[in-house]
Amino acid sequence: MPDYKSVVVSTADKKKKKKKKKENAALAIVKGLIPWKGDSVGEIIRKIVFLVSIVALCVVVLIIIDKYMFEPERQRKEYQSSILQLGNHEPTAEEIAELPEKAINTEYAPFYAINNDFVGWLSIKGINVNYPVVQGENNTEYLEKDFYGNYSKNGTIFADYENEFKNTGETSANTILYGHNLRTENFFAEITEYRRVNLDESLEFLKEHPVIEFNTLYEKAKYKIFSVMLINTREEYGDVFNYPAILNFANRDEFNYFTSECLDRSEFFTGVDMKYGDKFLTLSTCEFEVGLYDMRIVVVARKVRDGESDSFTDKQIKSFKRNPDTKQCRTIRELYYYGKEWSGRYWNPAWIEGFKKDSSFKTESSD
């Protein structure tokens, strides 16, 4: 008859031995890491140096994580809080007196008093775009400097240094504003929602936020979006639309070139009409989704004219649609259009006053 008792005892002994081995292994690891009774002086020093190195490495890792993951978010919150407080501050007589001659929007006096580079305020209803705009001596000054002049990776929204803001209210024909697209989702991060890889979702976003407001010290104005573009800035990728160089139009031909290029390259059509003499607002930020270096998302809007409604009707918004074939650089067409050549224009030539329809238009245009 089998000796079940001995079998049970044998099994229990094996379990105890395994447990003891685990305990011995854990103890060996601990003894190998920290100073232990019986260690030589040299061994104790080695262990102390090792432990100090581990602690130092952990501290460095935590500092790096904080700097690149949490510090930008803290800066964003602190910045937005300070801007909000400044905006709620009632301008003093002294601040108003410091404004340039003929400035009428005195609510911005506190901002101008702090930074004379202040030129206006940009906002888009319903999204996190509600910031002061500055203008530096060049287009790099405010890339890593906040509104208060302090170093910040977030930078500040700034106007092209060659744009004009006259005290008569006159501006350049095309005012260009630049802003970072950062993980902290401030400044121009939400501008990228106008042009995501999922264009159907971006179209819905455009329908919800089709108007931009940009007020200077001398006037208040709204702009209707008519173009949302993915722009290449590298010649190695092919065609480059040098929109930053177009601030004014010497003649109607230059005007027609700019507006037609914006429509050719736009992902969407909103039906906004344009005529020579109109003013434009261009928002420019970096793009990171398509997988190419130095791409830009560019949103262009036409200034609302005197006597014109500053909003779209429900019918107009419902008519917003995608461009069947967007003009893109060679590399984008190879990656996303199977290498097919651009087929031509699908927008209504009547949207640009006096623009002549030619063979480049491929379909009967809609309103």
User: Cα-flanking dihedrals φ and ψ of residue 294, to 5°?
Assistant: 60, 35
Q: Which of 239, 230, 308 is nearest to 265 (CA)?
A: 230
209 classed as catalytic: no
Distance separating alpha carbons of residues 134 and 210, to the nearest angstrom: 24
At residue 346's C-alpha, the angle toward residues 205 and 198, to 5°, is 30
Q: Are 238 and 336 in contact (CB under 8 A)?
A: no
Confirm if 119 and 134 have CB atoms less than 8 A apart.
Answer: yes
Q: Which amino acid is at 342?
A: W
Q: Which of 180, 209, 262, 329 is catalytic?
A: 180
Distance CA 121, CA 106 (A): 12
What is the rounded CA–CA span in Å between residue 142 and residue 155?
A: 6
Q: Tell me how far apart the alpha carbons of residues 71 and 146 are, in angstroms, rounded to a whole number.
A: 15
Tokens 């404004």 found at: 99
Strands 174-178 and 280-287: parallel
From the list 58, 89, 209, 286, the catalytic residue is 286
Strands 118-124 and 211-216: antiparallel
Cα distances (Å, whole numbers) of residue 179 to 156, 190, 317: 7, 11, 27
Active site residue 180: yes
d(CA 168, CA 148): 27
Token pair belonging to 32: 């190998």
Quote the longest CA-to-CA distance of the chain.
113
Retrieve residue 52's tokens.
């100090």
Name the residues annotated as catalytic. 180, 286
